[in-house]
C-alpha cells in the first residue's frame, strides 16, 4: 500500500480560491456588500481570513472576482430578430434560477457604487451588442438595452431579492409569456416618436 501523496500546491490553491469565491457569493447574496465581511466569508469557507486577503487583496477585489460573470447570452448572429425577446427572457430566468452570483450582484448593485458599476459594465459589455444586432436603429441600441435591463432586473428584484409572492409564484413559462412581448417591443419596435 502506497502512502497517499498530498495534493499539489496548485490544486490546493485552486480549491481554496474556489471555496473563498463560493462563500463570498453566498455571503454577498445573503448579506449585501456592506454587511458581508472578510471574517464571515472566511468562516463560511472554513479558512483563515488571511487567506482571503492573500488571494484577493481586499473586500473590493474579492467582490470583483466573486461577481465576474459571463451572461452567456445567445449569439446575436444566430438569433432570429423576431425571437430576441423570448430568447432573452427565457435565458435570464434560467440563469437567475440557477445562479446565486446574479442575486448577489443585484443586491449589491442597488446598495453599493462598486456593485452598480460592475452591473453596468456587465450589461453594457454583454447586452448592448445583442441590442445593436436586432434593433432597427443602432443609435437607439443603448436606450433599448437599458429598457430591456429595466424589465429583466425588475423581475429579478421582485422575484429573487424581495421575493414578492406573486412574482415568485409565476412559473417560468408564464413569466416568459408576460415579459417576452415587452422585451421584444423594446428591441425591435419602431421608435415611439417616429
pLDDT digits (tens, 9 = 90+) for 124-144: 888 898 899 899 999 999 999
pLDDT at 6: 55
* pLDDT: which is higher, 32 or 175: 175
pTM as predicted? 0.75
- For residues 21 and 65, the answer to whether their CB atoms sit within 8 Å is yes
Angle between helices 59-66 and 100-109 (to 10 degrees): 130
Whether residue 9 has pLDDT greater than 80: no
Q: What percentage of the chain has pLDDT greater than the value 90?
A: 49
Once rounded to an integer, what is the mean pLDDT over residues 171-181? 96
Mean pLDDT of 72-81: 82
Mean pLDDT of 147-153: 92
What mean pLDDT do residues 107-125 have? Answer: 80
| Residue 191 clears pLDDT 70, i.e. is over it | yes
Give the whole-number percent of the chain exceeding pLDDT 70. 94
pLDDT for the residue 120: 85
Question: Where residue 177 falls among pLDDT bands split at 50, 70, 90?
Answer: very high
Q: How far is CA 157 from CA 34, 63, 76, 88, 106, in A?
A: 18, 20, 26, 17, 7
Closest CA to 59 of 20, 90, 94: 20
**Residue 66 and residue 25: Cα distance in Å, rounded?**
6
Summarised one tens digit per residue, pLDDT across range 32-58 is 788 889 999 999 999 999 999 999 999
Instruction: Compute the chain's Rg from CA coordinates.
Output: 20
Amino acid at each position: 500500500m502506497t502512502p497517499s501523496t498530498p495534493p499539489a500546491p496548485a490544486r490546493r490553491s485552486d480549491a481554496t480560491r474556489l471555496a473563498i469565491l463560493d462563500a463570498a457569493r453566498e455571503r454577498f447574496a445573503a448579506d449585501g456588500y456592506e454587511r458581508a465581511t472578510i471574517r464571515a466569508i472566511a468562516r463560511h469557507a472554513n479558512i483563515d481570513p488571511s487567506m482571503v486577503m492573500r488571494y484577493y487583496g481586499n473586500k473590493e477585489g474579492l467582490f470583483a472576482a466573486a461577481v465576474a460573470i459571463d451572461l452567456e447570452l445567445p449569439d446575436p448572429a444566430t438569433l432570429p430578430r423576431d425571437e430576441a425577446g423570448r430568447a432573452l427572457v427565457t435565458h435570464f430566468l434560467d440563469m437567475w434560477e440557477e445562479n446565486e452570483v446574479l442575486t448577489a450582484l443585484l443586491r449589491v448593485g442597488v446598495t453599493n457604487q462598486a456593485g452598480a458599476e460592475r452591473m453596468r459594465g456587465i450589461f453594457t459589455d454583454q447586452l448592448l451588442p445583442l441590442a445593436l444586432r436586432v434593433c432597427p436603429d443602432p443609435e437607439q441600441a443603448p436606450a433599448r438595452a437599458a429598457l430591456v435591463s429595466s424589465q429583466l432586473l425588475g423581475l429579478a428584484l421582485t422575484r429573487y431579492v424581495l421575493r414578492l409572492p406573486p412574482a415568485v409564484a409565476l412559473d417560468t413559462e408564464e413569466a416568459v409569456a408576460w415579459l417576452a412581448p415587452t422585451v421584444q417591443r423594446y428591441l425591435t419596435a419602431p421608435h415611439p416618436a417616429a
